[in-house]
Structures are given as structure tokens and as C-alpha cells.
Structure 1
Amino acid sequence: MSDRYVLAIDQGTTSTRCILFDRRATVVSVVRGEHPQSYPRPGWVEHDAARIWRDVQRLIRKALREAGIGLDQVAAIGIANQRETVVLWDRATGQPVAPAISWQDTRTEELVARLDAGFVRERTGLPPATYFSAAKIQWLLAEHDLGARAARGEVLFGTMDSWLIWNLTGGSHLTDVTNASRTMLMDLESLEWDGELLDRFAIPRAMLPEIRSSAEIYGHFEGTPIAAAIGDQQAALFGQTCFAPGEAKCTYGTGGFLLMNTGTTPVRSRHGLITTVGYRIGDEPPVFALEGSIGTAGSLVQWVRDGLDLIGTASEIETLAATVDDNGGCYIVPAFSGLFAPYWRSEARGVIVGLTSYITKGHLARAVLEATGWQTRDVVDAMNADAGLTLTSLSVDGGMTADNLLMQFVADVLQVPVVRPMVAETVSLGAAYAAGLAVGYWSDLRDLRANRHPAGRWVPAMDLEKRAAEYANWRRAVECAVLFSR
């Protein structure tokens, strides 16, 4: 089977990738296509789901052409996806009935504010937040008067994995347990849709997909098994081979997402984190994780590029930041969509603190990068407290890990080594690994561990007194972001 491959579809917030991997987890071909996001009102973020499906079809063909192979040489296809984004579509026509509402969208703030926080967290492991899917579904059903049709099963809901599985397989309405765990509708103990939550959100069960494991055959695309679906951040955890409790990874992309494997028993957070399903392979017990979500990371760099025109390309942020030795006393709290973990303050708004005439664009660039580092520190401190563990190293992936200054800063503020793998596309790799396991392309988790090779490592170098003083300044800046919203 040396001439066979696994294809991963990574359907992300701003782009879709299709990547072919061989048995050694080597990238054989990679293609990418961006799709637009629309912002019809402040706080609203929408996608065109039909456009995304067209992109996926085109990119699958392109990835195969670039590798010089046919689909018959693909052993399985795995899907990783942006998680909480909501798609509603017509069962009969297969067409979306409204724009997809992104995970970043905050239009449901009033609906979320009325929820019983204790009840929601106990059932789902999630804090009530605009981030998750349930209130978005509720809003769409009410806004477009779709409740009756949804109750008859004529209008269907899915996160992006469901939407792609439906189209790839010709009508299988399924989701995996990791994506279901992000809807605020799944009971974390039974791993099934929760009837009381459905009633509270007025969401008919008939519109929901069937919940399956992360690695099994869901159907076929032109004869090739669709054999995995897994939320993008859980896919990165799996791709980083964080298979033991206490192992953690952070993906730095549009946002930042830090997950720690906590084993087969869910750990309930007391410090503002999410208890979520990490993955489930076939009929094996599910593996749980603690997650801290950073709403704005790479998108802050994009804003500096596109909104402020301070840089021409995202990679220039490091060069500009390196023109100064520190942030000059300037801190940026990028609460563009509120503050995520561990604060969960959707009403917070971004602030720049410490501006003086001394500040240059170099200081601003450095504050931009440091904002991602400090937000990581917030999450890791909460995670250590919840899990009763002390993080000893952090595996990283995503586009921002190419920024050496940022990676060194993360190591400094966490006081642990930061390790980047040889294969940077760990979200896609995780989807490929899960699909490959489902069809026997790889034999077991030990087989996957053998493919793990580090490509970069950063160790702490910051003076501890300076680290403490700057972190105190960061926390004061966060307080300003919350106060500004009042």
C-alpha cells in the first residue's frame, strides 16, 4: 500500500486546505483556497456555506492533480473543521437557507445572557457564550421563521463537518462527538443530544445530525471512505499525538486554542475553561480535554495589516517588532469579539493601554505579538489549577509559529519549553490520522507516535522579576477592556 495516501480536508475560518499525507505523515501535496467573511453589522460574522462546498470540491481535485494520483489511490478522507459555525440548509434542495453564522459572531449576546449558567455548564461542560452554536441556531430559526419546517425535518442543522459530510456522501446527516460537544446541546456524560436543552433553545431534534465517533466510516465520496470528522482544535491535539493525560498543545491561527488531554474522565473547570471531548476512536471510550480559547490571535496581525496598513504582509510583524527591545509600556488587549477564556466577557472591547509619545509602530507591533503570549499565559494558569498538573512543555502549531520572536515570548511567559513539530499542518494531520486509523492505514496510536519529529524548540530566557511585573501590567490592561464596555 505504499502508493496509497490519506486526504485531509481542513475547513477553517478564512480558508480551506486539502492535504495528502503518506504513511510516514509526510505532506505529498497541499492546496489552499481563501473564502471571504462578511460583516453585515458590528459583531456579526458570516460565511457562504455553498461557496465553501464549491471550494472543497475544487481543492480535492487540485490536490490530487498536484500529487499526480487519482482518487482511487486515496485510502480515506478525513475532515477537520471550524467548530461552532452554524449552517442551516434545506433537506430537499441541499441549499443553505441563510448565511452561515461564524463562531466569532456575537449577535446572540442577549439570548445567551438569559441562560442558566450553572445548568448549561453542568450538562455540557461549556459556559454560556455567543461562541457556541445553540443560540445561533435559535436566532436563525426565529429570524427566518423556520421553526415549523425544522420540526418536520425539512431544514437541517450542522456544523461545517456535517455540511461537508452531507455533500460528500450524498445525504448522510452526521456529526462527530467533538463537534457536537461544541454546540451547547450535547450532554457531556451521555454524549447524546440533551432534550431539556433543546426545549430551552426551542430547537427541534429532527433538524440535528446523528452523533458518531471521530473515526469511523460515515459514507463514501466517489467510492472513497469518508472516515473521520473532528473539530479543528481537537484534530491538532490528535495530530500532535497528545495521547496521554497532561499533554497539551496550542494552535495559533485566527484565534488561539490550547487543549490539554485529561484522559477518559471529564475534568470540570473551576477557572473559566471549557470541558470538551478531545476525540473518540471508533467504539473506544472518549478522551476528554480542557480547553482555553483565545478569540483573537492571528486576526490581530491581520487587522494591523489590513486595518492600520502598518505592514504589507503578516510575516512583517516580526521584523517590525524586532526593531525595539520591548513594548515601551504599551499593551494591546484584542477583545474584538469579547474576551474568551478564562474571562468569558463577551461585552469587553479591545483597548490599547500605555500610549505615550514615545511609542512607535515597532512598539505597537511588539505589543501585538505579546498579546498572544499573555493570553496564552492566562489560559495555562487556569489549566494548571483545574487539572492539578503543572505544564512541563507546550506543543505548538499553526501559522503564527513561524514567528520566532513570538514563540520565544511564549516560552518566556510560560516558563516552559515550546516545541514545534516537523509537520506544521497538525490540524490536517490529526484528521488524516483519525481517518487512517478507521480504515487500517495506520495500525494504532503507537504507529502515529513514531511519526513525531520536532523541528523547533524555544526555552525560557526572561528574568522572572520582569516577567511578574509585565504580567501584572497585562492584567490591569485586561481590566480596562472590561471597564470600557460598561
Structure 2
Amino acid sequence: MVWDVKTGEPLYNAIVWTDTRSAHIVRELKQKSGADELMGLCGLPLSTYPSSTKLLWMLSHVDKVKNAYAEGRLAFGTVDTWLVYKLNGGPDKNVFVTDPTNASRTMWMNIHTLKYDDKLISFFDLDVKTPKLHLPKIVPSSDAEAYGVLASTKLKGVKITGCLGDQSAALVGQNGFQPGRAKNTYGTGCFLLYNVGEKPVISTHGLLATVAYDFSSQGIPPVYALEGSIAVAGSSVKFLVNNLGFASESYEISDLASTVKDNGGCVFVTAFSGLFAPYWYDDVKGTIFGLTAYTEKGHIARATLEATCFQTKAILDSMEKDAGVKLEELAVDGGMSSSDLCMQTQADIIQIPVDRPKMRETTALGAAIAAGFAVKVWSSFDELKEVNAEGRFFFKPQMSKKRSDKLYKKWSQAVEMCRGWMDEEDQEEEYETEEGFEKEESGKL
């Protein structure tokens, strides 16, 4: 998000993580000297995923943003920064902060030092020294003072003491404090985090290096993770409901998938926003393979659920290669994890148990834990062992490894067959269409 540092007024609509309008900028940056050094510094590959390329797009296309930058009035922040800023009263208090888990998504923070890096910022030709661009201060995820206090409502004066990116919060909420613990959150997208301990692991297999949490204000060293992001998960289920009319509610898709014994030979590569980890393909589009005259809605529904499970396996395979350790079980949460069929399918495809808690709002729980540590509700991770431990269910693999491997091989074949569908000209036309739609929708507000 971007806003005027003097007035606090937003200068453009927020651009979400799945937005791919900056693909042409990414292609140009990949040809630039120093591009191959970025990942070793920030942990992220050059893609449309991080904030950096989205800001460059705004600076190229939005006059208000260009002018604010030229006049030194441009403030940038991820959503956490904006919320903390507004909750504190905006420009009057100007509490302008972020935490390392969120700052790690910009490509401007050095993953090793947890500070902004001049080399990274210079690569994107941004001026933060004059400054033309104002960036939030990076502070620990759990801190009793850094995030200020609520400026209004009945909670006026209450301190804000914790801040985590949603996926890091889910890892904390799943008690993922030990190296080797992993969780997967099945939401609109799907996000798998794997705790690698107190030193970052820079992936060579298509994953992100990220900060799991920073409780250093409480005397606990920052902890790192490998992350794999899937662009489309729950949103593919909504696609079947809202666009194709397969059901009236999202939860009914799992029931529909249960009406058939398998996918009937269908493979659905749900690449509505390209494919993220571990592929990083921006030239693919959603494609269904294997349709016949006997294909039913249930087959496509099952193939839709399987798409997320296959991508999760691809990420887990990469994590095992990067970390050198085979995962023994996977903790899960998020909306799609409520589907028994989806979670059993996941266990079958990855061939390890899937651990689902009874209470699945682990992202909110993780944020509460960060806030609680700052005010001494807890003082050690050992005190959290029984938090959300009741009612956990384990889905154990029921499919043979031979059958699982065969299905995954078909998925991998389908992914490669999708490549090259979108060329550069097609992508430019799509961005223009999306931008026009965005302006039309904005005018309705």
C-alpha cells in the first residue's frame, strides 16, 4: 500500500500478492546486472509475488504515486504497517513500523541482518535517503512498546503488542517452534512453512527463505523458515461455485467430489495467476486435461482439490532437498482443511500423516501468542504445549505409494504441457483488461 506521508491519504488501491500486472517489469529486472545476487540477500526470487515490483508498477502507471515520490511524500507499507498506522491515529502519531516477517516480503530487507539493505534498494532504483520513499521501521514481532496504542473506540489506550505475517502467525499457532516442524494453511492460496532454526536457508529448489518469527525483545533469537506459496487453492473452489455454478456453497464441492471414486483421468492445473513455488511459471494459465464424454462435475471437483495437494507435494519435495531432512508429518489449518476428503487426499499424495487441529483459526492464535509474549502472559514455548492440543485428528496415507507416484507423474506432465500458453503480448493485453476492470470497479465505490 502507498499513502501520503503528510496527510495519511491512500494514493492508490492496495495491490494484492496474487496480482501479476508487474510481470513485464520482472522480465526486465531479470536482465539487469546483479539480479542473480538478490535471492542470497533477501531470500526471494524475482517474481510478481513481492511488494517491490508492485511499487515499481505504481511508480510507472499512477500519477499520484509518481508525484508523491518526486516530492518526498510517498509512504509505503504492507497491510500490517497500514493497520498499525491507522489504529494509532494516522499522521498525528505516525507510528510507522513493520516486523521482519512482513518486511521479508518486500525484497528490500536483508534476510541475514533483518534490516533494509542499500544494495537491494538500489537494485530497484529507489531513493530512501533523500528520502523520496519512506519505509517503515523494522521492529520485533512481539514488543510491548513499538506498535503504539489504539487511538480511538472503546479500546482506546490499549497497547498493540504483536505483529506477524499471516503464515508466520499460523506456524506459531501450530506450535511450530522446533526445527523440522511444518504447517500448511489452505486458504484462498496455500502456504507451507518449514522451521529451519536460527539461520536462514537460501533455497536452491524454488522456495522462499523467510522469517518465521522474531521474539528478540523477549530474549528469543529470530527463527527462520522455508516457505512455499501456492497462488490458487480455496479460490479454485470458489471458481467452481461462482463462475461455473457447480454448487451454491464452497463446502459442497467436497461433497460433489465424493460422488466419484477418483478424478476419472482429469487433471486441473489451477494456474489462474501463474504457478508459484516451486515452479515460478508466469506463462501458464488454468487448464484441464483428460476430459472425455464420461467426465462428470464430480471428476472436475476432485481434480480441483487434488491440484492443491499436488502442488503441496512439489513444495515438500523441494523442502526436503533444501533442508536435507524428510518431513514426518504435516500440520494443517485454513478453510480447505475442513474437508476430510481433501486432507485424506493430501495424506495419500505426500505419503505422510496430516495433523489437523480441532480449532483451525491458528493464524489468529499465533498473533495472540506474539502479543501475549510481549506482556508476559507466557515466558517460554514450553508453556504453550497444551494450547490447541485437544481434538487433533491424524489422516494417515491409505493409497499405495505406487498409485500416488503415478498420479503425481500425471500432474507434473500436465504442468509442463501448460507452459508457453501466455506470451508477452498476451500478458500485456491481460494487464490492460485487468486495469480497466479495476478502474471501473473503483468508480462504483
- Offset from partner CA, 1:112-143 (integer Å, 9 cap, x none): 11224422111111110101100111111232
Q: 1:436 to 1:152 in 2, by over 3 A?
A: farther
- Offset from partner CA, 1:144-181 (integer Å, 9 cap, x none): 24346336542210000000000111220100000000
Q: 1:483 to 1:111 in 2, by over 3 A?
A: closer
Pair 1:326 & 2:262 matched: yes
Pair 1:289 & 2:194 matched: no
Pair 1:477 & 2:406 matched: no
Q: 2:81 aligns with which of 162, 165, 168?
A: 162
Q: 1:126 aligns with which of 38, 44, 62?
A: 44
Verify the 8 A CA contact 1:88 1:156 in the aligned structure 2: yes
Residue 212 of structure 2 is matched in structure 1 by 278
CA displacement at 1:286 relative to structure 2: 1.2
Residue 340 of structure 1 is matched in structure 2 by 276
Residue 153 of structure 2 is matched in structure 1 by none
Pair 1:373 & 2:291 matched: no
Give the aligned residue type for 2:28: R
Verify the 8 A CA contact 1:333 1:371 in the aligned structure 2: yes
1:80-479 equivalence runs, <5 A: 87-116=1-30, 117-145=35-63, 146-147=65-66, 149-150=68-69, 153-170=72-89, 171-205=94-128, 206=131, 207-217=134-144, 218-221=147-150, 222-283=156-217, 284-453=220-389, 454-479=391-416
- Offset from partner CA, 1:263-308 (integer Å, 9 cap, x none): 0011111110001111100333210000010110000000000010
Give the aligned residue type for 2:250: A
CA displacement at 1:97 relative to structure 2: 0.6
Verify the 8 A CA contact 1:169 1:219 in the aligned structure 2: yes
SS of the equivalent of 2:303 reads helix
* Counterparts of 1:149 and 1:115, CA distance in 2: 24
Which deviates further from its counterpart, 475-484 or 354-363? 475-484
Q: 1:148 to 1:203 in 2, by over 3 A?
A: farther
- Offset from partner CA, 1:290-342 (integer Å, 9 cap, x none): 00101100000000000101111000011100110000000000111100000
- Offset from partner CA, 1:431-456 (integer Å, 9 cap, x none): 00000101112222111222141432
Counting aligned pairs with the same residue, the percent is 46
Residue 79 of structure 1 is matched in structure 2 by none
Give the aligned residue type for 1:220: V
Give the aligned residue type for 1:485: M
* Counterparts of 1:103 and 1:237, CA distance in 2: 19
SS of the equivalent of 1:114 reads helix
Which deviates further from its counterpart, 194-203 or 218-227? 194-203
- Offset from partner CA, 1:352-372 (integer Å, 9 cap, x none): 011111111010111011111
Structure 2: any 5+ residue segments left out of the alignment? 151-155, 424-445
* Counterparts of 1:408 and 1:420, CA distance in 2: 11
* Counterparts of 2:71 and 2:110, CA distance in 1: 23
CA displacement at 1:457 relative to structure 2: 1.4
Verify the 8 A CA contact 1:351 1:480 in the aligned structure 2: no
Residue 27 of structure 1 is matched in structure 2 by none
* Counterparts of 1:248 and 1:294, CA distance in 2: 15
Verify the 8 A CA contact 1:266 1:288 in the aligned structure 2: yes
Verify the 8 A CA contact 2:4 2:68 in the aligned structure 1: no
Q: 1:410 to 1:295 in 2, by over 3 A?
A: same
SS of the equivalent of 2:143 reads strand
CA displacement at 1:483 relative to structure 2: 3.6
Verify the 8 A CA contact 1:151 1:204 in the aligned structure 2: no
CA displacement at 1:197 relative to structure 2: 2.2
Question: After the TM superposition, which parts of structure 1 deviate over 4 Å for at least 4 consecutive aligned residues?
Answer: none
Residue 45 of structure 1 is matched in structure 2 by none
CA displacement at 1:194 relative to structure 2: 1.6
* Counterparts of 1:152 and 1:229, CA distance in 2: 31
* Counterparts of 1:375 and 1:163, CA distance in 2: 32
- Offset from partner CA, 1:13-34 (integer Å, 9 cap, x none): xxxxxxxxxxxxxxxxxxxxxx
Residues matched between the structures, number: 400
Whose helix fraction is larger, Structure 1's or Structure 2's?
2
- TM-score of the pair, normalised by structure 1: 0.80
* Counterparts of 1:152 and 1:455, CA distance in 2: 55
Which deviates further from its counterpart, 112-121 or 99-108? 112-121
SS of the equivalent of 1:220 reads coil
SS of the equivalent of 1:130 reads coil
CA displacement at 1:422 relative to structure 2: 2.6
* Counterparts of 1:242 and 1:204, CA distance in 2: 38
RMSD across aligned positions (CA): 1.3
* Counterparts of 2:400 and 2:357, CA distance in 1: 27
- Offset from partner CA, 1:99-121 (integer Å, 9 cap, x none): 11111100110111122442211
* Counterparts of 2:312 and 2:266, CA distance in 1: 18
